[in-house]
Amino acid sequence: MIEIGERQHGVVGKAALAILVAVGVFWLVATRPIGASDPEPIAEIVVPAPPPPVAAFDTLGRGETLAELLGDHGFDGPAAYAFTQVMREVKSPRRLQAGMVARFSGPPGEAPDAVQLLVNADSLVEMSVADGAWSAAVHEVPVVVDTVRFAGLIDSSLWFATLSGEVDRMGENEFKEYVFDLADVFMWKVDFTRDIRRGDAFRVAVEREVRPDGSIRSRKFLAIELENNGRRFEAIPFTRPGGRREYFGPDGTSLRGSFLRYPVDFRITSGFSRRRYHPILKVNRAHLGTDYGAPYGTPVKVTAAGTVTRAGVWGGYGRMVEVRHTKGITTRYAHLSRVGVRVGQKVDQGDIIGRVGATGLATAAHLHYEFLQSGRQRNPARVELPSAPALESQYMTDFAAARDRALAVLDGVALPVMSIETRVASRATD
């Protein structure tokens, strides 16, 4: 009984407390003065954010100056002058190439306070202004140096080769950039327009500088091996002190000839012939030279060191250059759009002497190249051209060490071999 009473007392106490709270709230409301309102809320102070900078891109046009480009984006004469004077500290405005991309940014409705100039794929000039004064900085695009090894089994030409090795690390069209380089290395040993056979193979080790976007800043061969119609050639690069980079065989013999095989890097459209139908004269006549199909303006390289004996217009040759070499050899370069040398000038192998054109008796842009010995035209594809001197004995120790390192890198990829089935099928269709 006592326990029950205590519980009842607790329930009654809680009920009484609830009634008191209700009465108190009613009293507060009833006694509030008529017309009284709730307290005013605290006012919020809104600070507007500055408008985001506006950016605009533009491109330097052909023949346009940087000052003119700046003028299109709010720079008056004095402002453009101040800008270019500061920029000269890091990059000459006169050396900017057409096509350069510029980014202008600044507050809306005001002149730009920051300009970025993508000078080339590897260099960005950043200009910014503070307290009315411009400052300049150059940022070089970082690169990663790596080595790629790949091999190729040739079907009909270097262009049509089945690749193997570290091909997945190469860009989509990267191999196409190596084709001319490969041909240049062995041009004195192999005529790539006539000597390449199905089943020939090569393997290559290349050192590259790769930009963050995957493009290649530079590349150089570390070692190359080429198998052509049962012949095997190896190319090891080496640089003499103070000299240029050249390629040698494993024993130090030079792969470079005294004459280049090709004055331009394009295909032969008409070879050396004693009888050929002339498309303009409409008669059969001898074609005592080699025609190379190439786009208008393509650079033309002199095939060997010598002295310029003709430079200008000469009958059906149009604009042409004639160069006298040693051992009674003369070369001619005809139908040029532009001549870049003068009579009496000394030239070295590979120098640019003119540009491909269609002057004289020519129906389209191409280069007509002649090779003469003792005043008589010869077929340059069939002439036995002498090699350059072998590596001097004092460099052989350093060369041997470089050769061993290069061939060790090349061992990372195998030289491909055509299967017996394919080889038999190929012979059956020959």
Q: Which of 316-325, 353-362, 376-385 has the weakest average pLDDT?
A: 376-385
Contact 218, 206 (CB under 8 A): no
Beta bridge partners of 291: 270, 368
Residue 315 has pLDDT above 60, yes or no: yes
pLDDT of residue 272: 38
Instruction: Collect all residues with Cβ–Cβ distance below 8 Å to 75 and sequence separation of at least 6.
Output: 67, 83, 111, 112
**Is 247 found in the same domain as 107?**
no
Q: Is the pTM of this model over 0.85?
A: no
Residue 393 has pLDDT above 60, yes or no: yes
Instruction: Collect all residues with Cβ–Cβ distance below 8 Å to 52 and sequence separation of at least 6.
Output: none
**Is 156 found in the same domain as 250?**
yes
The predicted-structure confidence for 220-247, as pLDDT tens digits, reads as follows 999 999 999 889 999 999 998 888 899 9
**Of the residues 84, 111, 140, which one is the last residue of a structural domain?**
140
**Number of structural domains found in the chain:** 3
Q: In this structure, what token pair is assigned to residue 309?
A: 């004996």
**Is 233 found in the same domain as 149?**
yes
Residue 8 lies in a domain: no
The predicted-structure confidence for 32-85, as pLDDT tens digits, reads as follows 555 555 566 666 676 666 677 788 999 999 999 999 999 999 899 999 999 999
Give CA torsion, residues 65, 69, 75, 78, to 10 deg: 0
**Is 347 found in the same domain as 320?**
yes
Could you tell me which residue, 194 or 372, shows the higher pLDDT?
A: 372
Say which DSSP state 400 is in.
H
Q: In this structure, what token pair is assigned to residue 215?
A: 């493009």
Residue 273 has pLDDT above 80, yes or no: no
**Is 395 found in the same domain as 333?**
no
**Is 362 found in the same domain as 298?**
yes
Residue 133 lies in a domain: yes
Beta bridge partners of 145: 209
Residue 46 lies in a domain: no
Residue 2 has pLDDT above 70, yes or no: no
Please, what is the average pLDDT of the chain?
Answer: 82
Mean pLDDT across 289-313: 91
**Is 362 found in the same domain as 332?**
yes
Helix (H, G, I), strand (E, B) or coil at 371: strand
**Is 296 found in the same domain as 210?**
no
**Is 362 found in the same domain as 301?**
yes
The predicted-structure confidence for 71-81, as pLDDT tens digits, reads as follows 999 899 999 99
**Is 347 found in the same domain as 420?**
no
Written as one string, the DSSP assignment of 173-240 is THHHHHHHHHHHHHTTT--TTTT--TT-EEEEEEEEEE-TTS-EEEEEEEEEEEEETTEEEEEEEEE-
Residue 22 has pLDDT above 90, yes or no: no
Residue 130 lies in a domain: yes
**Of the residues 140, 157, 178, which one is the last residue of a structural domain?**
140
- Candidates 332, 190, 188, 321; CA nearest to 260 is 188
Domain CATH code at residue 106: 3.10.450.350
pLDDT of residue 10: 47
Residue 20 lies in a domain: no
Residue 6 has pLDDT above 60, yes or no: no
Give CA torsion, residues 233, 238, 240, 244, to 10 deg: 90
Residue 370 lies in a domain: yes
Residue 283 lies in a domain: yes
pLDDT confidence bin for 11, thresholds 50/70/90: very low
pLDDT confidence bin for 427, thresholds 50/70/90: low
Residue 356 has pLDDT above 50, yes or no: yes
Please return the burial class of 154, using the count of CB atoms within 10 Å of its CB with bins 0-12, 13-18 and 19+.
Answer: buried
Mean pLDDT across 88-101: 91
**Enclosing domain of residue 92:** 54-140
Residue 35 lies in a domain: no
Helix (H, G, I), strand (E, B) or coil at 129: strand
**Is 275 found in the same domain as 369?**
yes
The span from the CA of 117 to the CA of 138, in Å, is 10
**Is 245 found in the same domain as 153?**
yes
The span from the CA of 287 to the CA of 274, in Å, is 6
- In angstroms, what CA-CA distances link 132 with 75, 82, 112, 138? 13, 10, 12, 20
pLDDT of residue 107: 87
Q: In this structure, what token pair is assigned to residue 70?
A: 């700046």
Residue 405 has pLDDT above 90, yes or no: yes
pLDDT of residue 29: 47
Domain CATH code at residue 318: 2.70.70.10
